[in-house]
Structure 1
């Protein structure tokens, strides 16, 4: 598996001006004055595994191949021993077909599909929890200086999250360097795109940090753990089950990251507090302004 030893800049960064991702609309504000606004587009993407239709996701439409691969990986439909022979995207019919060398056991998983608390697709299969049995993530140390640097870099990066709102962002990071920034209308879609990129590039997870703008729910924790990433951080808050699972599998879980403040509810023993908190600037009022509305 390939390892990213260092990175001088983004590998994938958001492009808020990309065509098809937003649409300009006109409305009125609280005073009745006309106002123009960019709003995020939604479009369906149907994912097939070989000849079987798996799911139709509502997505912004970028990186459909990564989304399909990551979704199937995170749902346990593509195991480490599966050989993917092709990933075919048809823009006209908005379909991705992932082809494997041999048939998979995905049919039985379809009977266990449930709804979760996530927005957009938010689907998870009942046996995802089985993948957590006996799972213990590596006890990777985390420097608080990395967390502050990542938060500052990510919050200053032009994105749909800042441009239009109504969207979630997920960023794969190495130490204090953000590497791959994916966005979508559902936080689970954004994570799946990261998973698909990691699978396609052979990127190893044990020294990575996953940063998200969304809530730290049970499904977010499960997906991060199954991807093998030992650290999950967010501007937003926690759910009790998410915290419980994080503690069970040894995931460092950090939330409510704003300015110099954060809360660690799992993995405190892995934190290296090397930053001078007094020197971390407070977040200006209005920066990261979409966080509350997107959480």
Structure 2
């Protein structure tokens, strides 16, 4: 092979990616010819059958024979194949094939499963180091399964979709469960790749390049995070951004409202204890894990000397939570704030991250009890309207929501991350507090914007 570089021609060794067709027969029935790289073909065959839904575990294989010389794979599995198989030609490198293009994804990974931005960057770097075939001659795709701290499985192949099948096959043979994992890939994430990842229960997919629109839709429906263009120290979040733990600063300030009169409780709710911790302490601890700057809105800062953050008083005292949000927006250095009431003990980070990742002057969740304004994102663009309302003696947050440009997040989207909506409930009465202490759970009404 000749190499031409800057006017100089030199002879270099011939080394190209190998392309190998393998005819796959299952239970005596030929179903497909796979075109792939000619190494470790048993992983490719096993993984292909797994991602098509024909097998689920290694015990489903009765016989597997793969002949590298003849290019044939003969497999016997438990059960029978569907009588009719409708192949779908995919957008994979060359021409891929799948039989489960419209199959619904399995139950998604727990919403608690998240990965740091650094784990994505580190995973990509480690995958590149492991990609020996690509390093020799290029023209090869890579994919890997990571637990967020190290790579558990790695595969290379001509076809990017084949790399996912190889990972699925390796997982069967090695006993590694890819559910809840981070999947890394060098190639474009198309719909069939997203569907394969969903069949494995993957929580997050990260690619060096772009996802397709259908892949984004599949990932959103399956609750899979999808990150594209992972290059250097940047990436683009295309689906379920709550799967990625990123600092919400410097864009957003966390705000805790602790200025209520607690009339129905009869004492300061913020200072009530749960599991040996005052409620306002619990709120601060959870918020501090999400935001670099926290503001505590209170007109009695001396009561909260034990909270190590800046305290801000209302500019319009006696005007309720609306005045507290106004004070926060006026005092913070960021364009947006995320606001919670101090007596919400079940704050869920994945819900907060999702709300904070979305655009809008106000980002508010829909819940079975209606809109929840005290677990929401507010922008400084709301300040002029707030000023008009407060000067006119209008204190209703719901009136603000009627007049502002809000991004209402549907209940169904919230339920994916918080099925019982517990993160939106608070405590208003002594009986609710007593039941909370007895049960160890929180099952009460939503925060009352007027309390």
TM bracket, shorter-chain basis: 0.7 to 0.9
Alignment partner, residue 4 of structure 2? 29
Alignment partner, residue 42 of structure 2? 65
SS at match of 2:187: coil
Structure 1 or 2, whichever has the larger Rg, is 2
1:272 to 229, 245, 255: 245
Alignment partner, residue 117 of structure 1? 91
Sort the Cα spacing of 1:249 and 1:188 in 2 relative to 1 into closer, same or farther, 3 A: same
Question: Is the contact made by 2:108 and 2:201 (CA closer than 8 Å) also made in structure 1?
Answer: no
Distance across 1 between alignment mates of 2:178 and 2:153: 13
Distance across 2 between alignment mates of 1:105 and 1:206: 25
Question: Is the contact made by 1:121 and 1:188 (CA closer than 8 Å) also made in structure 2?
Answer: no
Cα deviation, 1:212-271, whole Å, max 9, x if unaligned, reads 000011111111011111111111112111111111110010110011010111121222
Sort the Cα spacing of 1:100 and 1:263 in 2 relative to 1 into closer, same or farther, 3 A: same
Instruction: Note if 1:89 corresponds to 2:62.
Output: no
Sort the Cα spacing of 1:212 and 1:81 in 2 relative to 1 into closer, same or farther, 3 A: closer
How many residues end up aligned between the 2 structures?
247
- Structure 1: state its 5+ residue gaps: 1-25, 277-295
Sort the Cα spacing of 1:107 and 1:159 in 2 relative to 1 into closer, same or farther, 3 A: farther
Alignment partner, residue 235 of structure 1? 208
1:151 to 124, 146, 151: 124
TM-score (norm 1): 0.77
Distance across 1 between alignment mates of 2:244 and 2:182: 13
Displacement after TM superposition at 1:80 (Å): 5.5
TM-score (norm 2): 0.51
Displacement after TM superposition at 1:86 (Å): 2.0
Question: Is the contact made by 1:67 and 1:189 (CA closer than 8 Å) also made in structure 2?
Answer: yes
Q: Give 1 or 2: higher helix fraction.
A: 2
Question: Is the contact made by 2:204 and 2:226 (CA closer than 8 Å) also made in structure 1?
Answer: yes
Sort the Cα spacing of 1:121 and 1:66 in 2 relative to 1 into closer, same or farther, 3 A: farther
Alignment partner, residue 21 of structure 2? 44
Distance across 2 between alignment mates of 1:162 and 1:172: 20
RMSD: 2.4
Displacement after TM superposition at 1:188 (Å): 1.1
Alignment partner, residue 291 of structure 1? none
